């Protein structure tokens, strides 16, 4: 069983579209037993892309232990299984062990694709941690590539294996970054170039991946080539598909009067350092309060306030699980109230 996380440095670049089409292509074309999982609890849309809008169970219920993972799998017409999600405030920032445990129950599947939360938020780290490899989706624009660059640096720090970059919504216009520029900036290979096509937008509206809805369109062919590659196979294009691809990439190019800016240097300069959350550290115990002079009471109260601030910071950066944080927070707030009453 191979687990692949589909990630992106920002939203709107086509991460969910990529997940849906790879899942459908792997199942329908390559004949692999595949399940796609929506691990995006902020803006979950994978079900919509696959035309599944009514859910008997969700991935959140699986993680909460309410249902078995096999009960949350919804069958898709392509042959792939879908485990959807609904919007929730639930966080998986410290749920690596839980995710790994529930996915072990899917041993009968050849491949698992996980659609993640966009960006380099702490929600993405647990999925990177348990994955065998990641695909980073981006667009050929400086801002999107800068976010891709940051995402790849994070992946390197957490030890994730990067399969490559999916360059999506490519128009082949002169103001776009070239494949060579993207690879130079990001330090990773572009493994697929998906052209911007109306067939893709139409497939999202009707809830049917483009590899099924318009199987001979240039975008569908590129998704199928990538799916075959992930399965260790080579996709053989039909002659008509080759002609369509040639015509697709001979579109009119925009002539720019001003010279192109040195994008590689600019993007690397604007790429902000993002540090993954360190392992959780032991929380120092608050000194027991004793009835002493007012100065000592004031000092102890200040220590508790500082500890509460530290706990909050560790929770927000993913160092503390939610239950641990709430228990420690409640206990120390109680001590603070007792101090102030005396």
Half-sphere exposure of 297 (CA within 13 A, CB side): 11
pLDDT at 104: 93
| Global model pTM greater than 0.85 | no
CA gap 128, 152 in Å, rounded: 11
Q: Nearest-CA neighbor of 4 among 153, 109, 119, 146?
A: 109
Q: Which of 201, 132, 192, 121 is nearest to 160 (CA)?
A: 132
Where is average pLDDT lowest: 96-110, 167-181, 277-291, 326-340?
A: 277-291
| Other CB atoms within 10 A of residue 259 CB | 6
**Phi, psi dihedrals of residue 195, rounded to the nearest 5°:** -70, 150
Q: Within its chain, how far is the Cα of 191 from the centroid? A: 18
Q: What percent of the chain clears pLDDT 70, i.e. is strictly above it?
A: 79
pLDDT beyond 60 at 257: no
Quick check: 109 and 1 in contact, CB under 8 A?
A: yes
How many Cα atoms occupy the beta-carbon half-sphere of 82 within 13 Å?
A: 29
The CA-based angle 298-301-306, given to 5 degrees, is: 125
User: What pLDDT is recorded for position 91?
Assistant: 74
Task: Convert the pLDDT of each residue in 11-62 to its tens digit.
Answer: 999 999 999 999 999 999 899 999 999 999 888 999 999 999 888 899 999 9
The residue with greater pLDDT, 318 or 10, is: 10
Low-confidence winner among 75-84, 149-158, 245-254 (lowest mean pLDDT): 245-254
pLDDT above 60 for 290: no
pLDDT in the model for residue 255: 39
């Amino acid at each position: 069983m191979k687990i692949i996380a589909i990630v992106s440095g920002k939203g709107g670049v086509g991460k969910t579209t990529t997940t849906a089409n790879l899942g459908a292509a792997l199942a329908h074309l390559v004949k692999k037993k595949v399940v796609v999982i929506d691990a995006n609890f902020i803006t979950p849309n994978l079900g919509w892309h696959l035309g599944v809008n009514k859910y008997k169970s969700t991935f959140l219920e699986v993680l909460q232990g309410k249902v078995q993972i096999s009960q949350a799998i919804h069958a898709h017409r392509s042959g792939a299984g879908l485990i959807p999600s609904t919007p929730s405030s639930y966080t998986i920032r410290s749920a690596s062990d839980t995710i790994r445990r529930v996915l072990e129950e899917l041993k009968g599947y050849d491949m698992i694709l996980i659609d993640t939360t966009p960006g380099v938020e702490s929600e993405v780290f647990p999925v990177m941690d348990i994955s065998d490899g990641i695909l980073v989706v981006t667009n050929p624009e400086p801002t999107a590539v800068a976010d891709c660059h940051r995402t790849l640096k994070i992946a390197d720090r957490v030890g994730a294996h990067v399969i490559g970059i999916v360059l999506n919504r490519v128009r082949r216009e002169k103001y776009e970054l070239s494949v060579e520029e993207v690879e130079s900036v990001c330090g990773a290979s572009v493994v697929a170039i998906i052209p911007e096509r109306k067939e893709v937008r139409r497939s999202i509206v009707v809830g049917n991946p483009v590899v099924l809805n318009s199987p001979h369109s240039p975008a569908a062919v590129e998704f199928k080539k990538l799916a075959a590659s992930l399965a260790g196979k080579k996709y053989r294009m039909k002659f008509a598909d080759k002609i369509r691809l040639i015509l697709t990439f001979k579109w009119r190019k925009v002539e720019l009067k001003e010279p192109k800016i040195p994008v590689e240097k600019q993007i690397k300069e604007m790429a902000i350092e993002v540090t993954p959350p360190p392992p959780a550290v032991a929380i120092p115990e608050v000194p027991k309060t004793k009835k002493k002079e007012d100065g000592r009471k004031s000092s102890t109260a200040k220590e508790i306030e500082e500890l509460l601030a530290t706990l909050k910071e560790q929770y927000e950066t993913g160092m503390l699980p939610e239950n641990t944080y709430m228990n420690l927070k409640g206990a120390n707030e109680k001590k603070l109230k007792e101090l102030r009453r005396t």
